[in-house]
Chains A and B, each alone.
Chain A
């Protein structure tokens, strides 16, 4: 006897909700040549500014190129993996290759103020909001 019944539609609706959220999000959009989906990006808000935290393990800093223009940030580069000659592979899960991705930010940002830091396989981009976007206090006279 089945003691608990799991609604099969629940999973489908969850997928639909996830897809809708993905499409409705302003954080993606191919506005430059970079259209790839790698590397994965998480974006956080920190006060007025934004912080993009990107998982990108095992990259040589020299092979990483970050360009910022208006409200798009392009992250491109290559990931190389070398194996010693004559090694016999037991397991091969890591992948190497090139990537080119564009992050479109739905707000006005200050492209000159973007700071990038690469440490422990994490690329952190500090994205400051443009001065014109910051809320202004209105004084009552």
Chain B
């Protein structure tokens, strides 16, 4: 089967209730979320963010991920041709199923962060046998 040719995905900017004081833009990372029997996995693409500049928090069942771009790398560079905007990344999700919050793990590789949110024991599906 021929593989699909990739197209550029336009970045979506975060719509915030408040304006931020700093002028930098913030974009929504493209995200995949899938669920297995053991865990909920959230995969986000944040190119340019290294593991020093990423913050993951869970508060009141809201998962927030913040990735910051180190703009100092662009110092001394004069743009001559640009196709995309560079900005920070931020996105948050309301978690529906019960998550074991102490066991959340995050792994950042090649600009892709993978969050594994293990389900709490009581939220895992149980097989009930009919006696």
Q: Which residues on A are within 8 Å of B, measured CB to CB? A: 25, 27, 36-46, 50-51, 55-60, 78-79, 81, 83-84, 86-100, 118-122
- B80 on interface, CB distance cutoff 8 Å: yes
Instruction: Collect the chain A residues with CB atoms within 8 Å of residue B76's CB.
Output: 46
Complex: A133 Cα to B7 Cα, angstroms: 34
Closest to B44 in A: A94
Contact B32 A81 (CB under 8 A): yes
Contact of B8 among A38, A92, A121 (CB under 8 A): A38
Contact B34 A89 (CB under 8 A): yes
Q: Which residues on B are within 8 Å of A, measured CB to CB? A: 3-9, 30-37, 40-41, 43, 45-50, 74, 76-84, 86, 108-112
| Interface residues of B, dominant DSSP | loop
Instruction: Collect the chain A residues with CB atoms within 8 Å of residue B41's CB.
Output: 84, 87
What's the minimum C-beta distance from A77 to chain B, rounded to whole angstroms?
9
What's the minimum C-beta distance from B59 to chain A, rounded to whole angstroms?
20
Contact A44 B77 (CB under 8 A): yes
Contact B77 A58 (CB under 8 A): no
Contact B84 A42 (CB under 8 A): yes
Contact A98 B4 (CB under 8 A): yes
Contact A42 B82 (CB under 8 A): yes
Contact A44 B47 (CB under 8 A): no
What's the minimum C-beta distance from B97 to chain A, rounded to whole angstroms?
10
Instruction: Collect the chain B residues with CB atoms within 8 Å of residue A91's CB.
Output: 31-33
